[in-house]
């Protein structure tokens, strides 16, 4: 759909909501029941249409909102690029041209330096710890405070779990091997790699395979076995590295235009919030269930070798992360506040997981 046509449709959509935004007394002879308004919302996503897990999750959100509201919420989901470019989702929700958007907060790092903490940072918290921070450790309140500057209300809405370290055609035996390494690794992880002499390369999803095959890049990260298998990287890369130090558990988001959300009745607000909780749980569960099956497929169908980054390399990446983070937050008081909350929560959780998760996985499971 062309942009002008999209804006027209959006306006029609908004007008449609406005015209029925009040409950109307139903005065026919059969009943005096209230006619409930129907909220017709557009939801734009940063993923291609029906993208495995992430796009499917947005489709499920539409289904659940309809079911939970008894048909009062009609959500129409659009893949990235269908209505607007994928990376304009934040702006469209902010401007109110659409009511809802789905993405990953770190895409909007350019808007505010605090934002990556609400997605993931290298050597940061895993999915379980992120949920604990967001829902019960003050993280979501801070996230709302940051997004309020843009007229957006955020909801945690999924997590990929710990990602893989990526596909390499060069073995990484020491920090020296990172020097001159051309790797497709966006965002914060790319900055950290650059500190150790690597060259982060930006490639869109559709270019990565050819760039890796032709040697334009030596390595790429993507997500985890399920999505990586579909990209076919195992056919052209020698080594599959773990862990994804750069993305230990990115939290995904549903964003709502604040003016739209604040005008809703309490039950519709609660339905939106509840459906996002459900999407959060479903997304992580779906990733966990699919990834190991697809890792096995990769290892049986290709010659790719599974490798782990040496401890020394991870330690140096961690030091470079700390330096990069200081630079990110030092000039902004709110970013510093978010950083401090995140870091102190992570430290607390780390002590607890040493005693529980770590011992359990190392010695029992």
Alpha-carbon gap, residue 334 to 118, rounded angstroms = 13
Smallest distance from Ca ion to CB 247, Å: 5
Mark residues 158-177: x for contact with Ca ion by CB under 5 A, - for none: -----x--------------
Scanning residues 115 to 154, which ones bind Ca ion (CB under 5 A)? none
Alpha-carbon gap, residue 88 to 46, rounded angstroms = 8
Smallest distance from Ca ion to CB 67, Å: 32
Scanning residues 16 to 45, which ones bind Ca ion (CB under 5 A)? none
Alpha-carbon 89 to chain mean position: 13
Mark residues 246-285: x for contact with Ca ion by CB under 5 A, - for none: -x--------------------------------------
Question: How does DSSP assign 318-335, residue by residue?
Answer: HHHHHHHHHHHHTT-HHH
Smallest distance from Ca ion to CB 319, Å: 22
Smallest distance from Ca ion to CB 221, Å: 5
**Nearest to residue 220, comparing CAs of 251, 197, 186, 191?**
186
Residue placing its CB nearer to Ca ion in the complex, 247 or 286: 247
Residue placing its CB nearer to Ca ion in the complex, 109 or 274: 109
Smallest distance from Ca ion to CB 363, Å: 30
**Nearest to residue 80, comparing CAs of 101, 60, 61?**
101
Mark residues 197-226: x for contact with Ca ion by CB under 5 A, - for none: ------------------------x-----
Residue placing its CB nearer to Ca ion in the complex, 183 or 258: 183
Residue placing its CB nearer to Ca ion in the complex, 152 or 183: 183
Tell me the site size for Ca ion, rule CB under 5 A.
Answer: 3
Length of the chain: 365
Residue placing its CB nearer to Ca ion in the complex, 46 or 163: 163
Alpha-carbon distances of 210 from 40, 204, 235, 277, rounded to whole Å: 41, 11, 12, 38
Asked if residues 158 and 193 have their Cβ atoms less than 8 Å apart, the reply is no
Residue placing its CB nearer to Ca ion in the complex, 199 or 332: 199
Beta strands in the chain (DSSP E): 24-25, 34-35, 39-45, 73-78, 100-103, 152-159, 166-168, 182-184, 199-200, 219-220, 239-242, 251-257, 305-308
> At a CB cut-off of 8 Å and minimum separation 6, what does 332 contact?
112, 113, 114
Smallest distance from Ca ion to CB 1, Å: 29
Residue placing its CB nearer to Ca ion in the complex, 99 or 247: 247
Scanning residues 228 to 247, which ones bind Ca ion (CB under 5 A)? 247
Q: Which two tokens stand for residue 322?
A: 């700390």
Interface ranges with Ca ion (CB under 5 A): 163, 221, 247
């Amino acid at each position: 759909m062309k942009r002008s046509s999209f804006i027209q449709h959006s306006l029609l959509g908004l007008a449609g909501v406005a015209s029925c935004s009040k409950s109307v007394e139903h005065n026919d002879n059969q009943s005096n029941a209230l006619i409930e308004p129907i909220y017709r919302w557009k939801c734009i996503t940063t993923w291609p249409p029906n993208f495995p897990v992430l796009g499917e999750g947005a489709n499920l959100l539409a289904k659940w909102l309809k079911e939970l509201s008894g048909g009062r919420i009609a959500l129409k989901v659009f893949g990235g690029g269908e209505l607007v470019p994928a990376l304009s989702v934040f702006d469209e929700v902010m401007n109110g041209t659409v009511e809802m958007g789905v993405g990953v907060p770190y895409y909007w790092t350019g808007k505010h330096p605090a934002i990556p903490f609400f997605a993931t940072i290298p050597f940061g918290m895993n999915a379980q710890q992120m949920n604990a921070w967001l829902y019960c450790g003050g993280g979501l309140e801070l996230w709302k405070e940051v997004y309020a500057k843009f007229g957006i209300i955020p909801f945690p809405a999924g997590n990929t779990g710990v990602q893989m370290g990526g596909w390499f055609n060069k073995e990484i035996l020491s920090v020296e091997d990172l020097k001159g390494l051309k790797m497709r690794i966006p965002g914060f992880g790319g900055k950290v790699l650059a500190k150790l002499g690597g060259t982060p390369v930006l490639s869109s999803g559709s270019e990565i395979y050819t760039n890796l095959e032709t040697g334009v890049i030596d390595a790429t990260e993507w997500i985890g076995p399920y999505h990586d298998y579909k990209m076919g990287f195992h056919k052209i890369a020698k080594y599959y590295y773990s862990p994804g130090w750069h993305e230990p558990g990115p939290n995904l988001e549903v964003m709502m235009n604040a003016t739209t959300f604040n005008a809703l009745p309490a039950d519709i607000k609660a339905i939106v919030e509840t459906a996002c909780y459900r999407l959060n749980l479903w997304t992580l569960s779906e990733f966990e269930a699919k990834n190991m099956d697809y890792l096995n497929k990769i290892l049986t169908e290709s010659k790719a070798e599974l490798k782990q980054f040496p401890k020394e390399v991870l330690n140096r990446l961690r030091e470079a992360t700390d330096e990069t983070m200081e630079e990110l937050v030092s000039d902004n008081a709110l970013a510093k506040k978010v950083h401090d909350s995140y870091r102190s929560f992570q430290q607390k959780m780390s002590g607890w997981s040493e005693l529980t998760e770590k011992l359990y996985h190392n010695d029992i499971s």
